[in-house]
Structure 1
């Protein structure tokens, strides 16, 4: 156990040093681990391993396939976003692709029993990269700090954010309480370690939150799950000169409160499992995201696992979440917008939203496979594709007169792998 805990800490430190990712439900990954990700991100009602139980619903640790034993998971994701931007000012178009190509995201988790008779208690612990967002247009045509020349007023850049990097690493100790064969309740404490860099050096800070969960097993075929996660706010210091007064400003970003429901149907016990999840993400009331006019998201996920033989599991899934960025057509670039008490020029406010943080993908298709080498050891692999989405706004440049158009496009691919050890 001590070696596993040391490994958790080590993987946590590695995760926060990983390059930024472009996440898929807003700035969140659709799921953690190759099993849940291969099934479209489901897991509120019947996660199939310890790491996705800790992530999706801590109460589910009591009804997972490894019960009444213990399980350790290691997982990794190779995330490949494909990001592009185009800025057109007065008929002149500047476009480029973001330089970031492949990012590694590790995750690790464990679930162990505390008691062996009712009421049952279980403990879980996981560390994983859960959220991220960013682009890198440095040393490209978009990275032009003197594009606008306003004479005595000086020269100004083409965009406000040609490099952005948001990383959030989560440590989550959890407990599950099962008073009887049908009901389980869970509690997770979320400790976020977050980093934000807007081409001004990294700003690190912490946030604390909780996750509540419940599972009710009606019978061997039907399970219902529910979960709630509190908001978690981070205050980043001196990240960017939002109001162009020559002084770097702080920025608060709050991971939103979330609520979710899940239904699992074990249609052919031991062979065919179908799960569906619905989640609500409250970006509209989250500091930072609300300032940049993100709307709330409903996430719909469905996944299936089929075992043609005991040792092999085939998985497929689909995940949909509407783009949270609102379009501000016909914006006046000469106006100002209040961002946490700082008056930000409207043109740069819009480039910050559309070019710097294009969290716009909506449709995800996933698949994967697992193989049990023994009752104690299994390997898993998966693939996700997020179909390309684009966003476009029309308005004016900082002078309020010259026509300007802002465009971003994003698609994503990822490869997942993981191993399971039962003991």
Structure 2
């Protein structure tokens, strides 16, 4: 049965790879699955399902509410981003357009099972990163701006956790990512490898603390875009940033849980993102859950991610800037940053619920709203004409999962 579940997970994940996600902490999801996401994306100190554990802190597989049983989770997030751009030339009437984005599904699958009373193994596959706009056939396309982009990353994470003693657990997850980038010249895909370390310490029966470190993961995309305009398609490397996270949770009883996470994402040193002048990002997430009855769980959360995309004033569009060794026109560079990759969401609220259908099957639902955020830069076009670039982004998402203990 376990072999069947693992095989099914990989097959389903492969079929869903073309689905675009739209992420919210930079170009990362705030969390995976409705349980974590409904609690603001928390999970470093007290993840409540197998997917949350492999995403947030691999050490947590030994302390989840499903222990000592095995658990299989299937989850899906449906994103509905609202993105629009505005280009104002020579202080005239702004040219505006809505990105042609619809509703996108982001899959997630996870399994956690014990080897013995101290060791557990797990495996998860989930969409973790997504970003994209489509302004083709709009007024924005007539301004020379980058008008179509798409980035998708799917992660596979085999995980191992070891309980050192009654209070301390450690874990490791190997990360294999499949990354696909399209800058309106066809999709270029590649693979990357990395890992994640985690630890959880139970201070008391009610308090737990957790820490996790995720390594950078680089993916080189070949023949993506003619960056310097010489007629030859250029390569472009994108590197998921190293990430450091800390969490604390308080659960005085099995009816009440509150969790707080803090994360640092090192975008400024990540290949590709440093070229786009992304700053380091600090994320604060808080969430709680309450069980009013034996079968019903209510969840609430908030997530704040400081906007990492720097605004530029008075850029000179008649000059060039260096991107991965290529000389790129400064105006085209700014449109790529501001119009093409507006990963700028900051404030998120989340709600959700869980219900125990049977002794071994649970269903979870969640909802996230990312409030409207904007970013702008000003300077000149290649001919010296004054121009201002602006993007706005808000998001809604609905999450669903089924959890089966066996």
User: Aligned pair 1:354/2:338, yes or no?
Assistant: yes
Within 5 Å, give how 1:304-315 maps onto structure 2.
304-315=288-299
Displacement of 1:21 in angstroms is: 2.7
The answer to whether the 8 Å contact 2:290/2:298 transfers is yes
Aligned partner of residue 140 in structure 2, secondary structure: coil
Correspondence for 1:211 among 196, 213, 216: 196
User: Aligned pair 1:7/2:8, yes or no?
Assistant: yes
CA distance in 2, matches of 1:60, 1:230: 18
Aligned to 2:149: 164
Structure 1: state its 5+ residue gaps. Answer: 148-157
Aligned to 2:166: 181
Displacement of 1:7 in angstroms is: 1.3
Displacement of 1:92 in angstroms is: 4.7
Aligned partner of residue 94 in structure 2, secondary structure: strand
Displacement of 1:14 in angstroms is: 2.3
Q: RMSD in angstroms over aligned alpha carbons?
A: 0.9
Aligned to 1:82: 82
Aligned to 1:323: 307
Aligned to 2:269: 285
CA distance in 2, matches of 1:420, 1:50: 9
Aligned to 2:105: 104
Aligned to 1:231: 216
User: Aligned pair 1:335/2:319, yes or no?
Assistant: yes
The count of residues paired between Structure 1 and Structure 2 equals 404
CA distance in 1, matches of 2:258, 2:217: 32
CA distance in 2, matches of 1:14, 1:410: 28
Aligned partner of residue 191 in structure 2, secondary structure: strand
The answer to whether the 8 Å contact 2:21/2:127 transfers is no
Aligned partner of residue 16 in structure 2, secondary structure: helix
Aligned to 1:393: 377
CA distance in 2, matches of 1:55, 1:142: 37
User: Aligned pair 1:113/2:114, yes or no?
Assistant: yes
The answer to whether the 8 Å contact 2:71/2:112 transfers is yes
Correspondence for 1:137 among 135, 138, 141: 135
CA distance in 1, matches of 2:263, 2:340: 26
Displacement of 1:89 in angstroms is: 1.6
The answer to whether the 8 Å contact 2:201/2:209 transfers is yes
Aligned partner of residue 54 in structure 2, secondary structure: helix
CA distance in 1, matches of 2:48, 2:15: 25
TM-score, length basis structure 1: 0.94
CA distance in 2, matches of 1:2, 1:277: 34
CA distance in 2, matches of 1:392, 1:202: 28
Aligned to 2:40: 40
User: Aligned pair 1:93/2:77, yes or no?
Assistant: no
Aligned partner of residue 143 in structure 1, secondary structure: helix
User: Aligned pair 1:415/2:365, yes or no?
Assistant: no
The answer to whether the 8 Å contact 1:302/1:319 transfers is yes
Correspondence for 1:377 among 347, 361, 378: 361
Q: Which moved more, 1:84-93 or 1:228-237?
A: 84-93
Structure 2: state its 5+ residue gaps. Answer: none
Displacement of 1:142 in angstroms is: 1.6
